[in-house]
Amino acid sequence: KEAGIDLEVMEIDDYVTPNTGLADGSLDANYFQTEAYLATEMKEKGYEFAHGAGVHVEPMTVFSKKFKDAKDVAEGTKVLLNNDPVNQIRGMRVLEEAGLLQNLSDDDSLLTVNGNADKNPLNLEITDANAEQVVQYYKSDDSIGLAVINGNYIVQAKLDKAEMLAQESGENNPNANFLTWRDGEETPAVAKLEELLHSDEVRDYIEKTWTDGSVIAAF
């Protein structure tokens, strides 16, 4: 209110309504999606939307009960990933940043990485499961040395932050969520909201609210 915006926040529990509502004018903006999802929606449904810069990321995080540091990961360790193709390579990128995989391309999957010494020098045994199952297997199956878990499931499962081995960076992350509005209709209120979403106050709120690392700032 201090910024002159009369903001009515609606919580929507599906991925379709926020964009249909924006398209039909019942919403002035939405905040829930990533670049890849928005691009697909615009291509398939003909939406004409614009968006702001990334605000937050629910990062892919590597958890381990067996290793405290990536350099300690043993050859042949069993690794569990999300089986969704987009999130699978995203998880592999985190492993690559940690020095556990190398020379990855966006077309890679566990099929191209398992047994490939050029990409998988430690011969990690990479398996996959549905996103919601990854965290359950990690908690119950002692054979799993590393598990790459989506941020939203970190919150739900109340995982131990001390078991975090590596985490996706928020900076310039293509998987960040952002504010979206109708193209050509960036009103003064929307422009001000976009500015405020990238304020120190919002960054501080993210850091203080999600101390478990399940949500991180993207700016």
* Predicted model pTM: 0.76
How many domains does one find in the chain?
2
Contact (Cβ atoms closer than 8 angstroms) between residue 148 and residue 62: yes
Do 144 and 48 share a structural domain? no
CATH number at residue 21: 3.40.190.10
Render pLDDT for 14-27 as a digit per residue (tens, 0 to 9).
889 999 999 999 99
Render pLDDT for 140-183 as a digit per residue (tens, 0 to 9).
999 999 999 988 788 788 888 899 999 998 888 988 999 999 99
Structure tokens at 175: 């998987």
Residue 11 covered by a domain: no
Interval 60-85 mean pLDDT = 95
Residue 1 covered by a domain: no
Structure tokens at 185: 């209709």
pLDDT of residue 155: 78
Residue 9 covered by a domain: no
Residue 143 covered by a domain: yes
Residue 130 covered by a domain: yes
Residue 203 covered by a domain: yes
Round to whole Å and give the CA distance between 55 and 154: 19
Q: Which domain holds residue 140?
A: 61-167
Do 82 and 69 share a structural domain? yes
Do 162 and 66 share a structural domain? yes
Q: What's the pLDDT band for 212 if we cut at 50, 70, 90? A: confident
